[in-house]
Chain A
Amino acid sequence: MENKAESLMGHGSFWLPRSASTVSDNTDLLYNVIMWGSTLLFIAIIAVGIYFVIKYRRTSANMKAEKHVIHNTTLELSWTIIPLILVMIIFVWGYKDYLKLSIPPADSMVINVTGKKWFWQFNYPKEGKNMLNEVVVPQGRPVKLVMTSEDVIHSFYVPNFRVKKDVVPNRYSIVWFEAKDTGVFQVFCTEYCGDGHSGMMATLRVLSQSDYDKWLVESELSEDIPLDQLGKKLFETKACVTCHSVDGSAKVGPTWKGLFGHHVDLANGQSVEADENYLRESMVAPNAKVVKGFAPVMPTYAGLLKDKEIAALIEYIKTLK
């Protein structure tokens, strides 16, 4: 899979992707402290082990144990208490950072997020914007996401920001961040949610405040381009691509290639011609006519697509012969 977001492997340190939020540097510092501490202790354990294994290997001169030291209270207490102190330091440190991750600043800007099999829906309550699988935020301002799910549990994860929170049906969960730099970042779903789980990704675009203000007043999509090209764009931005292909291969849902004007066998044994009305119905009421061999898992797009966008998608499907 290719993606427009900044590469996670290509940037950052050997272990971690580039740190891009105001809290992620804290997380990375502690990560590195634990990593180096563990590495040193691990090397020490292994070195002592190797030394003993070589020095006390069984040879004709060493057929039985040289000396049976079997108890030493000082040693036992020290390797109980020292590790205990070390992990308690890490525990308190981790908890303090966790509180910073958990409590959003009071002046945060709010975006509502809905997780659905298998896309992310972003709604800006004040600005009146609605977006799918893409979210745009201003740089240097705390953003609070109020999230819920319409079906199963999902989890919202931005690796570059080191934030993650489960998105649970029937309750709201909150994740917040403040982006340090502008850029395009990867969003994953990290709670297993079924066939389209690995395709449930979004991109998070961070714009400077002025670019963000400009973006807010721009229309969502240019109205000037031909309908079929608009449809092609919507195919990606409205997450159709997660489940449908345009090259004839079956994904979670049936392919769009050669669909228009042909007969479709339905799960109930009937057959129907894929005309404009059928396609429209399949978007707004997908479970009314389920295609044979596929599960009734598609969520409704009623309210998510405007009439013009539905028309554009139909025009795009017509071009896929």
Chain B
Amino acid sequence: MAHAPSGTNYLNATKGWKSWLFTLDHKRIGIMYLLSVCIAFGLGGIFALLLRLELLHPGQMLFTAKQYNQLFTLHGAVMVFLFIIPSIPASLGNFILPIQLGAKDVAFPRLNLASLYIYIFGASFCLYSIFSGAVDTGWTFYTPYSTATDTSVISMTLGAFILGFSSILTGLNFIVTIHKLRPKGMTWFRMPLFLWAMYATSVIQVLATPVLAITLLLLILEKTIHVGIFNPALGGDPVLFQHFFWFYSHPAVYIMILPAMGIMSELVTTFCKKNIFGYKYVAFSSIAIAIISFLVWGHHLFVSGQSEYASMLFSLLTFLVAIPSAIKVFNWLVTMYKGSISFEAPFLYFLSFMFLFSIGGFTGIFLGTLSIDVHLHDTYFVVAHFHYVMMGGTVIAFLGGLHYWWPKMFGKMYSEFWARISCLLIFIGFNAVFFTQFILGAKGMPRRYYNYLDQFQPLHAFSTYGTWVLGTGFLIMAVYLIHSLRKGAPAPDNPWGGLTLEWKTTSPPPVENFLVTPEITHDPYDYERAGL
């Protein structure tokens, strides 16, 4: 590759739609994933705007109860299965992981492309279900409601089932890549922390996703050939479904947040020009989270009638899983100490994450506490909590990573001014929407309510106004990012002064990532040694 003509990169090396659809380049696959998850995010966001609009006043505004129920189900299912699970790993992870590792590609490029096609195939089932009688069960598909409803549960769950395979294949690919494709000198403890986070994520993807697949398959079997598993009318146990479902879906929460934590470690080091504080603590807390996350699912069932003894153990384990997350937050915080901090858009997302994720974490303590959860369970408090973690955490980190690696991915800079404005609007809008919902929930407002008591109206209205600010922030972002692709200034190879390997290659990178195979002799964030 040393003889590649200058100006040739992965974007312009080959041309035509076939060169994209049949590409084996992890970077192109990452870009196609990025486009897919962004479309899914836009769709899920529109559903959210519509359902908040319906909640502006009690009683009917735009939709019937059934349509509202279908909307919140679609919002949840699209955001969880089509957007947030693949968001960071499959798009940014696919693009960055091999480069940060110093590899030419992932271990199984064909499998990587297959996972994208499986994703598209599964996504089409989910989207088809919108037109074939949209599901109204909530994204959790709780039985026996899901076995009784006449909406298209089968096509939605089949979609989620298929999407699971895409997730498993991506995870498998990353695990093997990290084990096998590290170049000379790249020891485990010289890996950037994003890779540790991706590794922990992949382990959960490979081990937990099959359980969801089996659960959804059992649900489909029950609906089609009436085998009694979950439906009490057929001799099944509806609470069994909840155990099965959360056995996957709670670890899945960490599939969503761990990659976000990885991005945080990258952002704080680069924008403080400082080595990470407590590298091993941050790295091993990812692994600790991955392990303990398998043992906390029962905290979703504190009021389901499960035994008090089981609830006690699940509450204990839930508190334990909070500790590694807290360790990470403290280490990021102290990394800033005596650094040289610069405030470009990606770092603003880092700060935003620290604020929002901390609130998400602290409110998790309320919900992990048994007696408090009895009051807060299935209220807006829970809705607010998981949006603070999933949106305030994962989505904010995803945006931070997107802005951080955008110049690398496309070779173009975006407008820093508009990026800051949009980040600020998203931060303000988000808090307006969801902090309000903590109060609503603690006051007793149940979730998934189409209609509500008049006394809750002012807070509901405030929350809805917040979505308009939030939506404006995202709209501005879409405009300046698309504009940067067409008219953005060319990006330097290392616009932020990063030390990890992706900043040692060109922007955008050449087809096999490096013109000269990199040699790794020290820490990923050793600014002291680099003299920067």
Contact = CB atoms under 8 A, between A and B. Distances in A.
B449 A164 contact: no
Interface string B145-189: 100111000000000000000000000000000000000000000
Nearest to A196: B65
Contacts of A151: 144, 148
Contact of A57 (B279, B330, B341): B341
A53 B304 CA distance: 45
Given A41-B362, A99-B308, A295-B150, A194 B145 contact: yes
Interface stretch (B104-112, B208-216, B314-322, B499-507): B314-322
A16 interface: yes
Interface string B115-159: 000000000000000000000111000101100111000000000
B455 A65 contact: no
Interface stretch (A127-135, A167-175, A264-272, A282-290): A167-175
A94 B339 contact: no
A105 interface: no
Interface string A1-39: 111000111101011110000000011001100110010
B319 A90 contact: yes
A164 B375 contact: yes
Interface in A58-111: 58, 62-72, 75-76, 79-80, 83-84, 87-88, 90-91, 93-95, 97-102
A27 B372 contact: yes
B517 interface: no
Contacts of A56: 272, 336-341
Interface in B291-334: 302-305, 308, 311-312, 315-316, 319, 322-323, 326-327, 329-331, 333-334
Nearest to A160: B444
Contacts of A68: 274-275, 338, 527-528
Interface in A204-227: none
Contacts, number: 277
Given A194-B145, A195-B65, A94 B273 contact: no
A139 interface: no
B340 A168 contact: no
B483 to A, nearest CB: 27
Contacts of B386: none
Given A8-B453, A10-B455, A98-B374, A84 B338 contact: no
Contacts of B337: 52, 56, 69
A107 B73 CA distance: 43
B358 A45 contact: yes
A232 to B, nearest CB: 21
A67 B341 CA distance: 13
Interface stretch (A183-191, A254-262, A299-307, A310-318): A183-191
B371 A98 contact: yes
Interface in B58-93: 58-60, 64-66, 69
B371 A53 contact: no
Interface string B460-487: 0000000000000000000000000000
B453 A3 contact: yes
Contact of B362 (A38, A63, A100, A195): A38
Interface residues of A, number: 95
A41 B330 CA distance: 12
A298 interface: no
Contact of A192 (B144, B145, B444): B145
Nearest to B347: A53
A189 B273 contact: no
A152 B338 CA distance: 58
Nearest to A159: B444
Contacts of B304: 166, 168
Given A198-B449, A199-B451, A75 B334 contact: yes
Contact of B142 (A49, A62, A153, A198): A153
Contacts of A75: 334
Nearest to A90: B369
B319 A169 contact: no
B150 A70 contact: no
Given A16-B442, A99-B308, A195-B66, A94 B370 contact: yes
Contacts of B58: 1
B379 A42 contact: no
A118 to B, nearest CB: 10
Contacts of A17: 443-444
B371 A194 contact: no
Contacts of A90: 319, 365, 369
A190 B378 contact: yes
A193 interface: yes
A249 B340 CA distance: 64
Contacts of B7: none
Contacts of A45: 329, 333, 354, 358
B493 to A, nearest CB: 20
A250 B64 CA distance: 9
Contacts of A199: 451
Nearest to B455: A9
B383 interface: no
Contacts of A35: 366
A274 interface: no
B327 A80 contact: yes
Given A65-B527, A71-B278, A163-B374, A193 B365 contact: no
A113 to B, nearest CB: 14
A134 to B, nearest CB: 16
B355 interface: yes
B21 interface: no
A207 B326 CA distance: 48
B444 A79 contact: no
A155 B303 contact: yes
19 contacts: A2-B454, A8-B443, A16-B442, A45-B329, A49-B354, A52-B336, A52-B339, A63-B340, A67-B338, A68-B528, A69-B337, A91-B368, A93-B369, A98-B312, A192-B145, A192-B448, A197-B65, A198-B449, A295-B150
Interface of A: 1-3, 7-10, 12, 14-17, 26-27, 30-31, 34-35, 38, 41-42, 45-46, 48-49, 52-53, 56-58, 62-72, 75-76, 79-80, 83-84, 87-88, 90-91, 93-95, 97-102, 151-153, 155, 157, 159-160, 162-166, 168-171, 173, 186, 188-199, 249-252, 295
Interface of B: 58-60, 64-66, 69, 136-138, 142, 144-145, 148-150, 232-233, 238-239, 272-279, 281, 302-305, 308, 311-312, 315-316, 319, 322-323, 326-327, 329-331, 333-334, 336-343, 351, 354-355, 358-359, 362-363, 365-366, 368-375, 377-379, 439, 442-456, 459, 527-528, 531-532
